Structure 1
């Protein structure tokens, strides 16, 4: 059945999700898969699970690599004579690498495919972990942090492109939820294990253990991760047969006469053939298309389409507060009245980890169920703004979690109260990030059908996200020094609540904004080949 969302009857993002004219109220698959078995949308469940599972493993260890550095802070001071200013510069350089790297590397997925970027990133991350384990000067920490940020910069945009490659619209919230959970698992679960390693074996062995896992990850990607970039091709092979009686040799032609055209019979073999194992694991899947425009189009997309700007601000701000939250816990808990060692600080992250787990296994599934329920009540028509209802209670949870943690830390409350604040914020973080990213995927349908447009949008989102985190990271120390822990987190809680209530405006005016930008969007989408 032809999807009605592809017509001009609906604004971008509004799709007929449920066919109410059929007795079973069947789902209409968005995007529409082709007949080719190598189209990732047609892959078997096992094949998708392996590919997406490797993607999630890559995300997990990327954020372990990025976020365990603070646990070694005391070891850096004792062994390297590291100052807090240098450590702060190293953390800021990591976010700078994440921000700049997505601008430089993600456009390459359009030209060369997903697989080579995953391989390059996994290789450089493996090298960074080895370097981290062998640093001897504080300045090296800045350099390796920058390189780790550059290598991990594809871990958000390219992964979300992979989700769009493999899954349908009604599955996006669940898949994005799993991706965000693996991201937060690396951020919160990684320090739990790293703390014990530092306590028992030292901080250098923390990096050596990470290098071992990253080496295994590199081998898994090398031998099992398939290219998910699908380049549509004409399925079939033409066969040209000529009548032997009418075929003449060069000597048969008389002077001044034209050779006779041989009658031919053209047949098409329409049987699709699946690629071989070696073809599916090709190092490069090159497309015949320029990529120069993808280095500047992300900024055009950011300031043209409201959904992209909203996702960039909401996703970026919630992750910036997540970073500030984790940073404050890692640094202030080593002093009185807590006096936490590395293992205790690692265990403290268990609060946020529990909140993230609870949200991962409830919120995305409820969000997918909610849009189906709302679509049934709307004559089977799905509006992307239906995703945003989940963000309203999440805004309250985010603010409460930040306030409980910040005020408790400032007043020296029992660590269980601080961990409870982390858990509340962790739950709200997953709900917010999942809803925002899924809203972007759903708001403009060709984003999920064309990796070029989706890549531009996600580059913009990830650049803003890491740019905000970098600004917060560099200014956080001065902020704390000027206002104190308690008042800083009160202000953060207020700002977080204000930014996280933006969905109310989109629930009221989001569809009008999509209608108003529909012409620009369709003009932009028409420049690219769409599935």
Structure 2
């Protein structure tokens, strides 16, 4: 029994059968001729879909790439502004913190005006603020303020990626595309310091920001020429405004938000804000909010503070120079790539097995079996990393352990994202924003105490405690698997079940 009036979820139908036999596809997707509406993004050509995916993934990558790009600049900036290295990291923390609030603000605007204008204007402002970082005068407070604003606008792609994937791909494609999108989230924080380390070995840090502004400019070009508006009303196709007769008129209207403003049936900004709260208040979300936050947060701490373990000369550290620091960031990047390759096949296997077992029905809770596997590597990777840093194990072992932890994080991030997309198909932007917010909220806090904690009790005990916290947090996963179906049946935001194939 349900406690609310169930509504047909706005979910991408399966490609395994025609929509007229698929209860998850609203009848309004069909025209009078019983064929799909060709304006529906699900019907876009394969090439167009993947150009849109490439554009959204590139800017998703740039979000944390820009945040972590300043990590190797901590030391030269501290010397220039006569700060301690710990104080110099405040620009990184400020940038990370405002990403969380920027993600929540993006949701109601995307719901009202569409995904494309939010992507365009946020990328435009990110480009402008990146140039401002390079032009910043000799003023630490001013630089921190610019980085804070940059983080606020840069986060839109990480919020809207899940929504775009849902809008343009069929259901059984979701987890594979979420793997690509998740890869772009997790590799950015490591490629940023990797590239910046090589640049500042020969250039000043301001020059490094001039160089990276070109990267953001490329993202702006991709948004303008490759992306298209993906929101489409499948419940009542009359709510979709007619397309302008010329390409450039259509492009200007969609980029500016005029096209989305003319669409009927859109939620108001207030309704968009309330949608975020409705998703957060559901037990299947706030339990995963806790788990995802306390497992992901340590990666932010490591990324921002590992340089302080590596730079001091022996016997206190490894004596790494800027190039050596850049090279060790290959370890987490390789971990992300291997995690995507592993998940590409294993997540498909878990999904197909659930469908066969349930005779054509898919139970979203089956997604979470991947986290059972990844949690052990999360704990072992973190725990041994702390022991290795404490005892100055070979830098190769440190790199291997760091990569193993990030590999496991990639697996759990994709599984969590896929699960909340299945549970909240009509509120994917809100769910994605809240996932991003939990990563940011928890990650923002770690740099404030990571170094002091490690110095007080030793890296072995601080990282070991982090590993124990991850294991304890895993306790919510079996809880969600046991009660998730019951929770879904009690809310109109989630489907009772997902039919993906005729049996």
When normalised by structure 1's length, the TM-score is 0.81
Question: In structure 2, what is the equivalent of residue 177 of structure 1?
Answer: 179
Deviation at 1:191, TM superposition (A): 2.0
Which residue does the alignment assign to 1:294?
Answer: 272
Counterpart check, 1:307 vs 2:281:
no
In 1, are the aligned partners of 2:8 and 2:24 still within 8 Å (CA)? Answer: no
C-alpha distance 31-147 of structure 1, shift in aligned 2 (>3 A): farther
Cα deviation 1:468-510 (Å, max 9, x = unaligned): 1222233334433433322110000111122134322222332
CA deviation profile, 1:217-241 (whole Å, cap 9, x unmatched): 21221223211111459779xxxxx
Match of 2:486 among 490, 494, 512: 512
Alignment-derived partner of residue 165 in structure 2: 163
Q: Does 1:122 align with 2:102?
A: no
Residue 399 in 1 paired to residue 383 in 2?
no
Question: Gapped runs of 5+ residues in structure 1?
Answer: 1-7, 237-271, 524-531
Correspondence 1:500 to 2:474? yes
Which is greater in Rg?
1
Contact 2:11 2:25 in 1 (8 A): no
- How far apart, CA to CA, are the structure 2 residues paired with 1:138 and 1:166? 44
Segments of structure 2 that go 5 or more residues without pairing to the other structure are: 31-35, 497-503
- The alpha-carbon deviation at position 55 of structure 1 amounts to 0.8
Describe how 1:6-405 pairs up with structure 2 within 5 A.
Answer: 31=25, 33-34=29-30, 35-135=36-136, 136-231=138-233, 277-278=247-248, 280-281=250-251, 282-283=254-255, 284=257, 285-286=260-261, 287-288=263-264, 289=266, 290-303=268-281, 305-337=282-314, 338-405=318-385
Structure 1 residues 436 and 144, CA gap change in structure 2 (3 angstroms): same
Q: Distance in 1 between matches of 2:43 and 2:471?
A: 41
Which residue number in structure 1 is paired with residue 33 of structure 2?
none
* 8 Å Cα contact 1:318/1:433 also seen in 2: no
User: How far apart are the structure 2 equivalents of 1:205 and 1:465?
Assistant: 30
How many Å apart are 1:13 and its aligned residue?
12
Root-mean-square deviation over aligned CA pairs = 3.1
How many aligned positions are there? 470
Matched, 1:484 2:451: no
Deviation at 1:29, TM superposition (A): 9.1
Runs of 4+ in 1 over 6 A off after TM superposition: 8-19, 233-236, 272-275
How big is the shift at 1:460? Answer: 2.7
Which of 407, 415, 440 is equivalent to 1:435?
415
| Maintained 8 Å contact 1:114/1:158 | yes
Cα separation, partners in 2 of 1:275 and 1:232, compared to 1, 3 Å: farther
Task: Measure the CA separation in 2 of the matches of 1:222 and 1:340.
Answer: 41
Question: Any idea what the Cα deviations from partners look like across 1:161-208, whole Å, max 9, x if unmatched?
Answer: 111111122111111111111122211223222211111223222211
Q: C-alpha distance in 2, partners of 1:520/1:475?
A: 38
1:11 CA displacement? 12
Alpha carbons 1:157, 1:459 under 8 Å: kept: yes
The normalised TM-score by structure 2 is 0.85
* Paired residues of 1:102 and 1:154 also in contact (CA < 8 A): yes
Q: 1:475 aligns with which of 425, 449, 461?
A: 449
Q: Which of 436, 440, 443 is residue 466 of structure 1 equivalent to?
A: 440
